[in-house]
Amino acid sequence: MLAIFKQGLADPPKELNSPASLRSSKKPKLPQDILKDFLANCKSKDALSIAFANNAFLAFAPSDSSSSSTDQQQRLFCVVDGIYCIFIGSLNNLCSLNRQYGLGKANEAMFVIEAYRTLRDRGPYPAHQVLKELEGSFGFVLFDVKAGTVFVAQGANEAVKFYWGVGADGSVVISDNQRAMKDSCAKSFAPFPSGCMYHTVRGLMSFEHPMNKMKAMPRVDSEGTMCGAYFKVDAFSRMSSMPRVGSAANWATWGP
């Protein structure tokens, strides 16, 4: 899978953009070139891509033919009312979650969209509380076109691995394909932190430890070059205020 969001629509931590990319023999690519190369290297005939007025791009293949991973993870793509979701993995408690939200037999991608939409409009729970209820191996990228909202999350058990980086124009690039990330973002990429979520408004935070701030750790590649940083929970640094728990704390506004 591949997701690209123009600067402003999604702004990652500044540490993700490595100055080493400017000195590298491989330079970061522009979004259109990243998408073109990704599709060219995807062997699946069922691969699809969607462009949103050059502000965002999504690409998806139902098999793992576009991924360097050996895992045979379930891969799902779904869209409902302008909300797009790419989901990789599976939820062990999907049936109980569907009953809780009154969703019938929705698959994982449909559940994420419907849960997001419900909480965006009228839900009483903050996003981190919802994600903590998900049992299984998962990673997803959700794009709400009307709200201009990007929402990304990865489970804590690291069975599904996402990577994110910065393209030549400052766009955020997200993929489960490490090789594609290296080719697209040069030195400006890193693993997406497990047990964490990224949201357009709030940025990066841990849903496992929502009261703790995230900190950047230096990342050195196989050539000994400082690259885009790792991000992890800072056990000694706390948020200045408790996350909202009222109706205002939903997946759309998700303000401080």
Residue-wise DSSP of 68-104:
S------EEEEEETTEEEEEEEEETTHHHHHHHHT-S
The pLDDT value recorded for residue 123 is 60
Q: Residue 227 has what pLDDT? A: 83
Q: What is the CATH number of domain 2-238?
A: 3.60.20.10
For residue 119, what pLDDT is reported? 77
| pLDDT for 177 | 94
Number of alpha carbons in the 13 Å side-chain half-sphere of residue 153: 27
**pLDDT tens, 201-234?**
889 999 999 889 889 988 887 777 778 888 999 8
Taking only the tens place, the pLDDT of each residue in 92-105 is 999 999 998 888 89
The per-residue pLDDT for 256 is 36
At 149 the pLDDT is 93
Low-confidence ranges of the chain (pLDDT < 70): 63-71, 123-125, 239-256
